[in-house]
Amino acid sequence: MSQKISSPSHSNSSSSSKHDSRQDSWEIVEGLRGGLSNVQEPEKQAGYMLKKRKWPMKGWHKRFFYLDKGILKYAKCAADVEKGKLHGCIDVGLSVMAIKKKAKCIDLDAEENIYHLKIKSQELFDEWVSKLRHHRLYRQNEIAMFPHEKTLFHPHYPLTSSPTIPDSQSIRKQSSLHSPVSFTSQAKVTAWLQSSDDMDRCTKELSVCEAQLLELNHLLRSMEVLHRTCSAPAINALQVTYSSDGSRPLVHQVSNESRASITESLSEFFDAQEVLLSASSSENEPSEDDSYISDISDNVSMENFSNEVENERLNTGGYNGGSQEQRRSCLPSPSPNTSNISLWNILKNNIGKDLSKVAMPVQLNEPLNTLQRLCEELEYSELLDKAAHTQDPFERMVYIATFAVSGYASSYYRAGGKPFNPVLGETYECDRPDKGFGFVAEQVSHHPPISACHAESKNFIFWQDVRWRNKFWGKSMEIVPVGTTHVVLPGFGDHYEWNKVTSCIHNILSGQRWIEHYGEISIKNSNSEKCQCKVTFIKAKYWNSSMNEVEGAVTDHKGKIVHKLSGKWHEGMYCGSPPSAKCIWRTNPMPPDYEQYYSFTKFAMELNELDPLTKPLLPPTDTRLRFDQRLLEEGNVESAEEQKQRIEQLQRERRRVLEENHMTHQPRFFQKSKDDTWVSNNTYWELRKDPGFSNLDCPVLW
């Protein structure tokens, strides 16, 4: 009898546990299914919700939201919405909507932005979710009726626009007058005019407006063509234009009209205040000192490195001595065809999750490891060499800032590639006599994933530990790095520190993938307050063909601007104002047929190279000895997939053994510092010399 009584209790407990688990995970809100349906016009919804501040700002702020016929508008208060002083508009019909019931969170992925919303009251949360579902279906049904208009406008926008709303949004709204959808709206306007005493005046104004809208509609379509061809280029269609000497690509020069100050960017883009302003400035407008236009003319002077510095770098023989080697310029096999892989089937159940924990087919990887990607940031290490030989502290900061930007250059062609995830204890060594540095990296933690690296040369010391938070939001994926990059110049006693910016990969599921970086890098010298630097990666604007722009300034201890920086992270950086702006750095030309080889730069192609002389000197944990990555590089996809699964299973077994014995993994070459970051214990290169890694007890990783 007692069993019969306890059994339902156990069943209820199990059911409750499953229910809580479902509430604690993200749920994708389904949209319109099948063809057209009769969706009743939804009631308007208004009220306050919490909106998450965008990186680098933290926390949440209260905003007033107004939902009308599938369009969600928001501002600081209800009065601002009525006046048209909006912070942004979201077309919920064109957005991917996800909810987390337990946390009372709502996420809207609108491609250009990801909006994170939260409601404290369960009752209000349920009400908002219900209304958003209804409005979303109504709007999607509307789009299904007139699909050719879905990206241009919403027929229920007012004809007038606020100066705080970007011009392209106004164009989209106004262009609706020349579409089939607007016939209903025009009928209502006609009825209103017939009962109005000011009919003649309104008729004349509408005639003028109609002529202007025809011109604006034509302009919008031209801008959309520019956006598709410039902002999201087809990677395999890109061509590199070379200068007359054949050794350097010509940097695309931006006209004065296409560039905008940071202040103008803030006023033109939805949520720009939240993306670009520092935490201390919150919602306030930027100061006049932060607002400047850094134009670049076609007449720029290229500053070459001195022969003395270049010769010293090339003749040092590397960090461990030795001679310059001839390195490969092509991979053993082209990248495999991935057109038969459905990303949607893989990712549809992982909306809002950390993709580092999601198993992916090996074909979606590139034959490089995350540890090697960290080394790839040193491709332009000559900028650090130059900084180490520059006496002026403000000019040194210019080279440090340019180096921080250069680390993003190789990602321009690689939006579709995913590096292999390192297993716990995996290491990577890169000894570059030609560049004068030695690099070591190790995976020091698996949950959360933490990669630490350290590089040294005669001129600089470079180190960082990086943790990533990857989030897939339906149309795009955000990669938010957490950690600090350090560079020390021993000759001057400088210790530079800076953060990384957010990266976002667009068109994950369809269309041409492209990547952008946005946010602010703040660089400081912890051993001197003489100068600081802030570099802003400007977020792309839908209506502007200008992409990947970077602006910055080196300031003194009083905040006065000493040097202005500008350029594009995938092309080059300039210092100064026209016509005397100096080119500090420009990217190296891409190798021939790079599209067929994972769009790797020449430096990236060299990272996984394993020559017979180096192999015996490496620890068995080195990435270049990893079977799955090597097999993928050689084009053996089937065997690479088998080895990948075997290596991942080995890692799970090692972790289980550690947990059963109440043990924790101890990194071999890195240790925790007082500030809870991972730094080198300076043993790698000494062990490599004597007694060598063959005598050490290393874990079997593969």
What residue has token string 């500030």? 675
pLDDT at 58 over 90: no
What residue has token string 């897939």? 472
Cis amide prior to 448 (ω within 30 degrees):
yes
Mean predicted confidence (pLDDT) in 593-618: 92
Highest-scoring range by mean pLDDT, 138-152, 234-248, 377-391: 377-391
Highest-scoring range by mean pLDDT, 144-148, 178-182, 329-333: 329-333
The sign of the dihedral angle between the CA atoms of 60, 63, 69, 71 is: negative
Highest-scoring range by mean pLDDT, 222-226, 251-255, 463-467: 463-467
pLDDT at 79 over 80: yes
Q: pTM of the entire structure?
A: 0.60
Going by C-alpha positions, the residue among 417, 395, 422 that lies closest to residue 303 is 395
pLDDT, residue 344, reads: 65
pLDDT, residue 425, reads: 94
And the tokens for 35?
């063809």
How many DSSP H helices and E strands does the chain contain? 17, 27
Helix, strand, or coil here: 551?
strand
CA gap 436, 673 in Å, rounded: 27
pLDDT at 174 over 80: no
pLDDT at 71 over 50: yes
pLDDT at 21 over 70: no
Tell me the pairing of strands 461-472 and 450-457: antiparallel
pLDDT at 194 over 80: no
pLDDT, residue 147, reads: 60
pLDDT, residue 231, reads: 37
Helix, strand, or coil here: 96?
strand
pLDDT, residue 109, reads: 86
Q: Are 345 and 645 within 8 A, CB to CB? A: no
Q: What percent of the chain has pLDDT over 90?
A: 42
pLDDT digit string, tens, across residues 676-697: 899 999 999 999 988 888 888 8
Apex CA 580: angle with CA 578 and CA 586, to 5°? 90
Higher pLDDT, 616 or 9: 616
Mean predicted confidence (pLDDT) in 446-475: 89
And the tokens for 511?
């269309």
Residue type, 490: P
Q: Are 555 and 564 within 8 A, CB to CB? A: no
Burial class (CB in 10 A: 0-12, 13-18, 19+), 198: exposed
Terminal-to-terminal C-alpha distance of the chain: 55
pLDDT digit string, tens, across residues 481-533: 988 999 999 999 999 999 999 999 888 777 788 899 999 999 999 999 899 99
And the tokens for 534?
């802030």
pLDDT, residue 686, reads: 92
pLDDT at 148 over 90: no
pLDDT, residue 675, reads: 84
CA gap 526, 283 in Å, rounded: 28
Q: What percent of the chain has pLDDT over 70?
A: 69
The sign of the dihedral angle between the CA atoms of 5, 9, 15, 18 is: negative
pLDDT at 319 over 70: no
Residue 631: what are its φ and ψ, rounded to 5°?
A: -65, -40
pLDDT, residue 226, reads: 47
Mean predicted confidence (pLDDT) in 188-205: 59
46 forms beta bridges with: 66
Return the C-alpha torsion angle 345, 351, 353, 356, nearest 10: 40
pLDDT, residue 351, reads: 62
For the chain, the structural domain boundaries read 26-145, 343-688
Least-confidence region, from 42-46, 228-232, 416-420, 468-472: 228-232
- Beta-strand runs (E) in 43-126: 45-52, 60-68, 71-75, 88-91, 96-100, 105-109, 114-118
295 Cβ partners below 8 Å, 6+ apart?
254, 256, 259, 566, 577, 578
CA gap 87, 77 in Å, rounded: 10
pLDDT digit string, tens, across residues 117-147: 999 899 999 999 999 999 988 888 888 777 6
pLDDT digit string, tens, across residues 93-126: 888 888 998 889 999 988 777 889 999 899 999 9
Burial 329-345 (b: 16+ CB within 10 A, else e): eebebebbeeeeeeeee
pLDDT at 435 over 60: yes
- HSE (side-chain half, CA atoms, 13 Å) at 124: 14
CA gap 180, 340 in Å, rounded: 38
CA gap 555, 604 in Å, rounded: 34
Mean predicted confidence (pLDDT) in 543-567: 89
Cis amide prior to 147 (ω within 30 degrees):
no
Same fold, 26-145 and 343-688: no
Mean predicted confidence (pLDDT) in 276-286: 31
The alpha carbon of residue 370 and the mean position of all alpha carbons in its chain are separated, in whole angstroms, by 16
pLDDT, residue 345, reads: 66
Mean predicted confidence (pLDDT) in 642-665: 91
pLDDT band at 562 (very low <50, low <70, confident <90, very high): very high
CA gap 544, 255 in Å, rounded: 13
665 Cβ partners below 8 Å, 6+ apart?
424, 425, 445, 446, 658
pLDDT, residue 264, reads: 34
Going by C-alpha positions, the residue among 315, 441, 397 that lies closest to residue 584 is 397
pLDDT band at 38 (very low <50, low <70, confident <90, very high): confident
Mean predicted confidence (pLDDT) in 192-197: 51
Higher pLDDT, 427 or 310: 427
pLDDT at 60 over 80: yes
Helix, strand, or coil here: 552?
strand
Per-state percent for the chain, helix, strand, coil, to nearest 5: 35, 25, 40
Least-confidence region, from 201-205, 269-273, 560-564, 641-645: 269-273
pLDDT at 164 over 70: no
Among 2.40.160.120, 3.30.420.40, 3.90.1420.10, 3.30.930.10, what is the CATH number of 343-688? 2.40.160.120
pLDDT band at 197 (very low <50, low <70, confident <90, very high): low
The alpha carbon of residue 583 and the mean position of all alpha carbons in its chain are separated, in whole angstroms, by 25
Higher pLDDT, 213 or 106: 106
409 forms beta bridges with: none
For residue 240, CA distances in Å to 413, 414, 550 come to: 12, 16, 21
CA gap 91, 73 in Å, rounded: 9
Mean pLDDT of the chain: 76
CATH fold of 26-145 reads PH-domain like (2.30.29)
Q: Which helix (H) or strand (E) holds 188?
A: helix 182-194
